[in-house]
Amino acid sequence: MCGIVGYIGNREAYPIILNGLKRLEYRGYDSAGIALYDGEKMHLSKTKGKVADLEERVKSEIPTKGSLGIGHTRWATHGVPNDINSHPHVSNSGELVIIHNGIIENYATLKKELINRGYTFESDTDTEVLVNLIEEIQKQENVKLGKAVQIALNQVVGAYAIALFDVKKPDEIVVAKLGSPLAIGIGEDEFFIASDASPFIEFTNNAIYLEDEEMAIIRKGRDIKIRKIKGDTLVDPYIQELKMNLEQIEKGGYDHFMLKEIYEQPAVIKDTYRGRLLADKGIVRLGGLENYIEKFTNADRIIIVACGTSWHAGLVAEYIFEEWARIPVEVEYASEFRYRNPIITSKDVVIAISQSGETADTLAAIKLAKQKGAFVYGICNVVGSTISRETHSGTYTHAGPEIGVASTKAFTTQITVLTLIALKLAKEKGTISQSDFMLHLRELELIPSKVEEALKSNDKIEEIAEVFKDVSNFLYLGRGYNFPVALEGALKLKEISYIHAEGYPAAEMKHGPIALIDEHMPVVVIAINSNHYEKVVSNIQEIKSRKGIIIAVVTEGDKDVKEMADYYMEVPNTPEALTPLLTTISLQLLSYHIAVMLNRNVDQPRNLAKSVTVE
């Protein structure tokens, strides 16, 4: 959560930082701020609200000259979102200025000690404590900024990505990382700092991703010194070539990133299986899995840990892994798993699923599973992310940058990878027939064009959205492979439209939720061709006889459900195990249109942030 940006070099820092903040706004958007050094003085401007509010404020508040600066967009943890709690924060002397993404857990104790030494605090933030702690250490120990930062971070408990400079020494920025991401872009005589590479992608393709417990001293026109925060060892910088391009992080003519990302799904699903799925030859090849197949095939069970939408992808995987590979699967919320002393042995394989690769709970679950001896496999979208590095091996989804806070293409590409893994393991174990194996490989190759077909219902789905945009509650029902899709559909609606929605296994309805059904309750039922078709038809009848309104997701060519439903959305036919890749599309579009009609901020829904790097 929170986005940080910094620049030191020969260009004007302000436009780079402002633009960078706009690109990182998906990480948090409660407040924003900037500190610029104009060659003589540091100028600070910050405000509650969005980066656009900051842009307005800067116009009347500070000069925008200077080639050194840092900026921040915030998702509030300590202290309500207001102007004072916004970053950057300045030390009591006015000389040190800092931005921070993360949480300093022991800030209250540190704050008391600093107050006893005469420090005063304006804000309620943990970050203001950190910058004053650094200042106090600088004074007491008579050390340079880098050393003071290092000593301070050794006293701190928590997570951080920080960047700070000293107005007395405006040729250097000090950065450090533990648990929150931090990338350094390397230009010619210039350096960029950011939570991800998107703020500097048009300036350089070379970046260093700091590892946890590393800090860097970045000197204008000179070099970068990276060292361990504990122990003081120097680290050789590892410069990566970025694969991301500008087009991927722009809206490309769509009104919202979410819509663009929904429409990217045919392409990114293909990107995700390209080179891995060789249907003609009957081969699935996953680099990260090849050397570890036996870990999976000999495992007592697979435990999947994830949060939110990634957890829903894990639930889909439970069905396909058990069906094809006959390996018992448990799917856990990472946040629960990490705190309940789970029974895990070295015979367990843990799969961690995360789009961002930075989710704090998932990361903690991985660390716990590793401590207990399990083999941990990661499925991440962001290359080089913390989770991708913390896991023993893994497979990347190739969704490209997902900017909309509501996850769409990450979900379908996660299911694509999980399907490939399940098929590979089933083949290896001999638990799937050759004909079934081949059928699913071929059908998976057809999914991108079938997603395109499903997207053609967009106008019709928009009309359905118009009818239901003002209701207060929705129920989503699905069975089997589509039960997790019902959960995902409800989550999508909740998070971007703020309409209350519940996802349920269709057959569970009669154990309670049926009491909610009346003529005002829209029920989205996933009623595609499947083994449960007849049973879902019965569920629909139960709803109809209580005057509920049915919005059904049906397979093209369906007759029965279409007749019974008040509204329907069609998807092409595909084997049941692959249907989540299609049914999801209709539900994403339904949520999107309702949210747009309600004038919601679709890409940045209230109270949320794209990557949840705090507990």
The residues assigned a catalytic role are: 2, 610
Which one, 98 or 609, has the nearer CB to ligand M6R? Answer: 609
Give the nearest distance from C-beta 495 to ligand M6R in angstroms: 6
Supply φ then ψ for residue 341, to 5 degrees.
45, 60
Give the nearest distance from C-beta 380 to ligand M6R in angstroms: 8
Give the nearest distance from C-beta 497 to ligand M6R in angstroms: 13
3 state SS of 575: coil
CA of residue 33 relative to chain centroid, distance: 23
Which one, 270 or 409, has the nearer CB to ligand M6R? Answer: 409
Cβ(143)–Cβ(151) below 8 Å: yes
Q: Residue count at the site for ligand M6R (CB under 6 A)?
A: 16
DSSP of 409-470, one letter per residue? Answer: HHHHHHHHHHHHHHHHHHHHHT-S-HHHHHHHHHHHHHHHHHHHHHHTTHHHHHHHHHHHTT
Give the nearest distance from C-beta 172 to ligand M6R in angstroms: 33
Which one, 270 or 494, has the nearer CB to ligand M6R? Answer: 494
Which one, 88 or 394, has the nearer CB to ligand M6R? Answer: 394
Q: Any bridge partners for residue 178, and if so which?
A: 160
* Residues numbered 343-372 forming contacts with ligand M6R, rule: CB under 6 A: 354-356, 359, 362
The contact pattern for ligand M6R, residues 595-614, with x = CB under 6 A and - = no contact, is -------------x--xx--
Rounded to whole angstroms, how far apart are CA atoms 5 and 33?
A: 10
Give the nearest distance from C-beta 356 to ligand M6R in angstroms: 3
Which one, 379 or 577, has the nearer CB to ligand M6R? Answer: 379
| Of positions 38, 495, 570, 603, contacts ligand M6R by CB under 6 A | 495
Residue 181: how many other CB atoms lie within 10 Å: 26
Give the nearest distance from C-beta 381 to ligand M6R in angstroms: 8
Close Cβ partners of 356 (under 8 Å, ≥ 6 residues apart): 380, 381, 382, 385, 610, 611
For residue 551, CA distances in Å to 488, 504, 530, 586 come to: 16, 15, 18, 11
Which one, 309 or 419, has the nearer CB to ligand M6R? Answer: 309
The contact pattern for ligand M6R, residues 395-414, with x = CB under 6 A and - = no contact, is ----------xxx-------
Rounded to whole angstroms, how far apart are CA atoms 305 and 315?
A: 10
- Specify the DSSP class assigned to residue 321: I
3 state SS of 204: coil
Pairing of strands 68-74, 3-8: antiparallel
- Specify the DSSP class assigned to residue 614: -
Give the nearest distance from C-beta 208 to ligand M6R in angstroms: 22
Supply φ then ψ for residue 456, to 5 degrees.
-70, -15
Cβ(184)–Cβ(193) below 8 Å: yes
Helices (H), 505-579: 533-544, 560-564
Which one, 89 or 312, has the nearer CB to ligand M6R? Answer: 312
Which one, 596 or 612, has the nearer CB to ligand M6R? Answer: 612
Each residue of 108-147: b (16+ CB within 10 Å) or e? eebbeebeeeebeeebebbbbbbbbbbbbbbeeeeeebbb
Rg, C-alpha atoms of the chain: 26
Give the nearest distance from C-beta 179 to ligand M6R in angstroms: 14
Which one, 150 or 584, has the nearer CB to ligand M6R? Answer: 584
Ranked by CB distance to ligand M6R, the top (closest) residue is 308
Cβ(218)–Cβ(237) below 8 Å: no
Rounded to whole angstroms, how far apart are CA atoms 604 and 495?
A: 10
Give the nearest distance from C-beta 479 to ligand M6R in angstroms: 22
* Residues numbered 284-323 forming contacts with ligand M6R, rule: CB under 6 A: 307-310
Helices (H), 498-579: 533-544, 560-564
Residue type, 351: I
**Residues in contact with ligand M6R by the rule CB under 6 A:** 307-310, 354-356, 359, 362, 405-407, 495, 608, 611-612
